[in-house]
Amino acid sequence: MNARPEARRRGRPTADETQMREQAIMEAAAALFEQQGFAGVTMAEVARRARISKTTLYARYPDKPTLFRAICSYACRVPAHRFAEVATKGREPEDVLADFAVAIVEATADPAADRFLRLAIFEARRFPELAEQILLESRAVAAPLIVWLEGLARDGRLSGHDPALLARQFGALVNGGHDGLLQCSAQESGKRIAAATALFRPLIRPQ
């Protein structure tokens, strides 16, 4: 008689299962917070939308503020691959700056990042520490731009400025500050990219 196939043992979830569960929680919570705001969402509702038990949800996120902070952190990390994909070696600085500018625009335009930036601003009084968290994580996402500028500084090709500060200022020019939150058409983004690149190009000495 052939042996019956052994059923998969119950126990700790695999890495893939854990990642899928986390993705489901993030997507469910993101949609609910966007639709209903912080006050209107319940943990039970998130669990139902993510198709997990409340016990599983609370084991990962003990309360709603913790879940909200995790969502904002997740939104900050979503566009990270766009910066990581910018090629820098052996290219003209103006082309590299233009590609980083496009990555910044795409990161800002990402629905997940955009809606939670706005929601975090709206909830700033309830979660004052979120502003600092978002700033730190946004800077971490932009690390490839900072690393490139630091390399130019080591080679003596960057005017005497702090590369990390320059990266933040470049991002602010591309995003357009408050104007960028209110006016984010493709045409306006193109103008801001061209202007930011033109302003920064003279800071980099030719090779």
Residue with tokens 């979660």: 127
**pLDDT for res 140:** 79
Query: Is there a contact between 134 and 65 (Cβ–Cβ < 8 Å)?
Result: no
What architecture does CATH give domain 80-203? Answer: Orthogonal Bundle (1.10)
**pLDDT for res 6:** 40
Which of 196, 16, 186, 188 shows the shortest CA–CA distance to 93?
Answer: 196
Higher pLDDT, 28 or 160: 28
What architecture does CATH give domain 16-62? Answer: Orthogonal Bundle (1.10)
- For the chain, what is the mean pLDDT? 82
Residue limits of CATH 1.10.10.60 in the chain: 16-62
List pLDDT tens digits, range 3-55: 444 444 456 778 778 888 888 898 898 889 888 888 899 999 999 999 999 99
pLDDT value at 198 more than 70: yes
List pLDDT tens digits, range 80-96: 788 889 999 989 999 99
Q: What percent of the chain is predicted at pLDDT more than 90?
A: 36
Q: CA torsion sign, 192 to 198 to 201 to 202?
A: negative
User: How many CA atoms lie less than 13 Å away from 139 in the CB half-sphere?
Assistant: 12
Higher pLDDT, 81 or 100: 100
Higher pLDDT, 54 or 77: 54
> Mean pLDDT over residues 130-138, rounded?
74
Higher pLDDT, 170 or 187: 170
Query: Is there a contact between 61 and 96 (Cβ–Cβ < 8 Å)?
Result: no
Residue limits of CATH 1.10.357 in the chain: 80-203
